[in-house]
Structure 1
Amino acid sequence: MSELLNPVVLSVLVLAVLSLARVNVVVALLIAALVAGLTGGLSIEGTFNTLIEGLGGQGETALSYILLGTLAVMVSRSGLTEKLIRRVLPLLKGPRAVVLFAIAGLASLSQNLVPVHIAFIPILIPPLLAVFDRLQVDRRAIATALTFGLKAPYLLVPLGFGLIFQGIVADEMTKHGMEISVGRIPLAMAIPVGGMVVGLAVAVLITYRKPRVYSTVAAGPGGVALPDPESTAAGEAGEAPTTRWGRGDVVVLLGLAVTLVLQLVYSSLVIAALAGILVIFLLRGESWRDGDPIIDRGVAMMGTIAFIMLIASGYAGVLTETGAVESLVSAAGDWIGGSQLLAAVTLMLVGMLVTMGIGTSFGTVPVLAAIFVPLASSLGFSPLATAALIGAAGGIGDAGSPASDSTLGPTSGLNADGQHNHIWDTCVPTFLHYNIPLFLGGVVAAMVL
């Protein structure tokens, strides 16, 4: 029972309890770091000095988030997203399953090709609620489709937010003694993401395939008056002026193209996003005098997540500095008895507990890596298997958690008319259809890679 008093165990339990109690994530991380430091023999001053020094570990990642938030604001201000949606609307006809898979595909673009994260949802979803209701689409299926598009791409594709997430996994594993390149992370995540694909298919084709009737209510604030896809084809005579493409739209598209290309060239989202922003400013897609409000909105959109990631990096630094990770690894190894299967299941359970409480996969990877890498190394897991465990455990934090962008975003759009419950209509469906496959996929990947 002495292992329960290990500073890492105590700290993670405090973190999980506070997070599940809906204490602010930043506060929960700081308290957990203090518990780890004090129980590990550090002073209060020493604990926070270590935490502050650790903030530098994810500084680049946090900056990437802020820049992507700024780029997303520019795309939103240009009206480009609305124009693209108007073009796509005529395609949203036919069987419910086709519409849902199309929604999942569109959402997938928000993480890599057009990295606007959840910013597209208030534009896309509220105006379409009447269309979905006419088709009697179960909104729980729409929530699962949206969450798939917000998660699966960054877990598998090393572009946009995927470059950030996979870069964090590779950097943190290397920092803790298990070297792996970013280019190998997609191989590690193929099986867990394959489980998500199965979960999406089950949700669309089986669980929520039956029609569901909703009251006819006009979309609430944030809805955009879009034409009925069954009666108005984009591009026909007499369409609204806002659907016309102008020079500003071309400039924003060029900025996005520059961002995409430079990601591939430099593997740095900071360089790529900054270049895309500068292109839009220099070519007058946005005025320089509007720079302050644009960046303020970008910080407001992504700043909280960026700050959580910085604190999480410092927290992981405290765990490492206490020296308690080594004793935990030794004790866990004795308890597990060298069984890789039991170890994989245990690690995924720990990951699910921590990440579900925090609600962000990006912010929990540094914490998970500090615990997972030493234990996985002692049990003979390969770098690919370890990356699969960390990536899958981290990904669980974005699906099913009440505090996650990947659940809050879909709810914000689907509940525009007050007929969609965040917990029962978004969190529970996404937990069942994505967290369970991610859990199983992480364990299977750890055993076969």
Structure 2
Amino acid sequence: MAIAVIISVILMSVLSLLKVNVLLAIVISAMSAGLIAGLPFTEIVSIFTSNMGGSANTALSYVLLGGFAIAISLTGITKGLVQGLRSVMSGQRVALMVLIALIASLSQNVVPVHIAFIPILIPPLLALFDRMQIDRRGVATALTFGLKAPYITLPFGFGLIFQGIVRDNMAENGIDITLGSVTQAMIVPGSGMLLGLIIALGITYRKKRDYSQIEPKGQPSDIEDDDDTPFKFELKHAMTIIAIFAALGVQWATEEMVLGALTGLVLMFLLVAVPYRQIENVMSRGISMMGMIAFIMLAASGFAGVLEETGSVEALVDASSGMLEGNPWIIATVLLLVGLFITMGIGTSFGTIPILAVLYVPIATAAGFSPLAIAVLIGTAGALGDAGSPASDSTLGPTAGLNMDGKHDHIWDTCVPTFLHFNIPIFIFGLIGAVML
């Protein structure tokens, strides 16, 4: 039975690396796991669909947040931010990249719009980057840090979703742990990301890079045709700020991202920050932006359900416990490598957690790891590969903004730098935290 989970995970990773749609790769792999285990096809489908509801809250949160992000962008409030950056940060390369990392961090927790801010903020700044000869690999690293580090370490916004998924899936597999304990555990690998950012911005990408010599690829957009008229703060911008703070207040009070996002979205229309006639446009664009991510998480939950039902997880635990018995450093290393392999393949740390928890909890429990250590293992393994994966929104988002003029390569200018500067220190810090806690 152990072969079912091994083959299905390998198949899922290979299909994803071959650029098969991630959602299809997960569905195909789930079906293969059930068939290898000898389950009837109709039963596999039933198990898969019935377990998809495990991530329904998270999926709905993403869809609503997508609509909220679109509504904010339609108000034009980001125009003032872009113009301010141009006037204040000219000539300060490292400081500007640090500021971009901070802005990206706000998109995960304070103003939870995820990658939606990138195509609004970054393309108008490309001309400034080129004049300052900023290495865009450093900007990609700064953006990926902001998209990832906050949800790993802070229990707000997307961090509330991520750490909640870790907590809930540990509970489903027999380990009760509080959200505060998960946060405490995830500070360790998060510190590794901070070290990686310091090395990237302070050493690796500190030097100038001349983009005038780089030949654009494809048909770049006309990014220099920007609206340079002075930004004027209007009533709709004040209403937008009220909606943002209201969304955060509801989220903090209820610890429910769905309610927070719904509050902010509804207030955007009630306060007329966005005209009511735009509601269809807002929601359709929000679903278009975040819907695939939501369905990937639903499918991952269904995949985890199929693996549990086949009994292949228990068989893998029995087969692995003998091989991994003994040295906790070896056990943690193997588990983290498995997490890196899986997440690099499917490109979503959130959707990977249900799969990893099913595998990790029994193995780590049998090996004597504490609940905090298991939380570090699951959270770190889930986060590994989010940076550096060609299929991850943490790399696709930065590339979408930085390649608007055709001068930024997704693999070599985003994926490789973020893999080197983040996955390596996350792995090391996560390994130390799993053994020491």
TM-score (norm 1): 0.93
What corresponds to 2:303 in structure 1? 315
What corresponds to 1:360 in structure 2? 348
Of residues 361, 386, 401, the one that matches 1:398 is 386
- Separation (CA, whole Å) in 1 of partners of 2:206 and 2:177: 41
- Separation (CA, whole Å) in 2 of partners of 1:366 and 1:223: 44
Worse-superposed segment, 149-158 or 308-317:
149-158
Where does structure 1 differ by over 3 angstroms across 4 or more consecutive aligned residues? 216-219, 221-224
What corresponds to 1:442 in structure 2? 430
Paired residue type of 1:105: L
The answer on whether the counterparts of 1:123 and 1:222 sit within 8 Å (CA) in structure 2 is: no
What corresponds to 2:259 in structure 1? 271
Worse-superposed segment, 46-55 or 178-187:
178-187
- Separation (CA, whole Å) in 1 of partners of 2:185 and 2:24: 32
Inter-CA distance 12–265: structure 2 relative to 1 (3 Å threshold): same
> Offset at 1:221?
4.1
What corresponds to 2:30 in structure 1? 33
Summarize deviations over 1:161-208 as a string: whole Å, max 9, x none.
111111111111111111112222221111111111111111111112
What corresponds to 2:131 in structure 1? 134
- Separation (CA, whole Å) in 2 of partners of 1:224 and 1:268: 41
Worse-superposed segment, 389-398 or 346-355:
389-398
The answer on whether the counterparts of 1:123 and 1:223 sit within 8 Å (CA) in structure 2 is: no
Paired residue type of 2:332: A
What corresponds to 1:371 in structure 2? 359
What corresponds to 1:385 in structure 2? 373
> Offset at 1:87?
2.9
What corresponds to 2:188 in structure 1? 191
What corresponds to 1:348 in structure 2? 336
> Gaps (5+ residues) in structure 1?
228-239
- For 1:301, what is the secondary structure of its paired residue? helix
What corresponds to 1:233 in structure 2? none
The answer on whether the counterparts of 1:33 and 1:318 sit within 8 Å (CA) in structure 2 is: yes
Q: Which residues of 2 match residues 58-137 of structure 1 at below 5 A? A: 58-137=55-134
The answer on whether the counterparts of 2:166 and 2:379 sit within 8 Å (CA) in structure 1 is: yes
Paired residue type of 1:439: F
The answer on whether the counterparts of 2:106 and 2:146 sit within 8 Å (CA) in structure 1 is: yes
What corresponds to 1:175 in structure 2? 172
What corresponds to 1:230 in structure 2? none
What corresponds to 2:226 in structure 1? 225
What corresponds to 1:159 in structure 2? 156
> Offset at 1:440?
1.1
> Offset at 1:224?
6.2
Worse-superposed segment, 349-358 or 98-107:
98-107
Paired residue type of 1:72: A
1:15 aligns with 2:12: yes
- Separation (CA, whole Å) in 2 of partners of 1:404 and 1:221: 26
1:337 aligns with 2:338: no
- For 1:215, what is the secondary structure of its paired residue? helix
Inter-CA distance 67–223: structure 2 relative to 1 (3 Å threshold): farther
- Separation (CA, whole Å) in 2 of partners of 1:326 and 1:338: 19
- Separation (CA, whole Å) in 2 of partners of 1:157 and 1:244: 34
> Offset at 1:58?
0.4
- For 2:211, what is the secondary structure of its paired residue? coil
What corresponds to 2:283 in structure 1? 295
Worse-superposed segment, 307-316 or 11-20:
11-20
Paired residue type of 2:113: V
> Offset at 1:82?
2.1
The answer on whether the counterparts of 1:127 and 1:226 sit within 8 Å (CA) in structure 2 is: no
Summarize deviations over 1:309-353 as a string: whole Å, max 9, x none.
000000000111111111211111100123211111001111011
Summarize deviations over 1:388-427 as a string: whole Å, max 9, x none.
1111111123200111111111111111221111111111
What corresponds to 1:236 in structure 2? none
- Separation (CA, whole Å) in 2 of partners of 1:246 and 1:430: 38
Of residues 413, 420, 429, the one that matches 2:408 is 420
Inter-CA distance 332–75: structure 2 relative to 1 (3 Å threshold): same
The answer on whether the counterparts of 1:115 and 1:161 sit within 8 Å (CA) in structure 2 is: yes
- Separation (CA, whole Å) in 2 of partners of 1:67 and 1:309: 15
- Separation (CA, whole Å) in 2 of partners of 1:382 and 1:224: 56
- Separation (CA, whole Å) in 1 of partners of 2:224 and 2:302: 40
Inter-CA distance 223–165: structure 2 relative to 1 (3 Å threshold): farther
What corresponds to 1:231 in structure 2? none
- Separation (CA, whole Å) in 2 of partners of 1:300 and 1:149: 23
- For 2:319, what is the secondary structure of its paired residue? helix
Inter-CA distance 292–70: structure 2 relative to 1 (3 Å threshold): same
Inter-CA distance 151–247: structure 2 relative to 1 (3 Å threshold): same
What corresponds to 1:286 in structure 2? 274
The answer on whether the counterparts of 1:16 and 1:357 sit within 8 Å (CA) in structure 2 is: yes
Of residues 206, 209, 214, the one that matches 1:209 is 206
- Separation (CA, whole Å) in 1 of partners of 2:306 and 2:431: 28
The answer on whether the counterparts of 2:65 and 2:112 sit within 8 Å (CA) in structure 1 is: yes
CA RMSD of aligned residues (A): 1.7
> Gaps (5+ residues) in structure 2?
none
The answer on whether the counterparts of 1:104 and 1:149 sit within 8 Å (CA) in structure 2 is: yes
> Offset at 1:290?
2.1
Summarize deviations over 1:355-412 as a string: whole Å, max 9, x none.
0011111111111111111111111111211111111111123200111111111111
> Offset at 1:95?
3.5
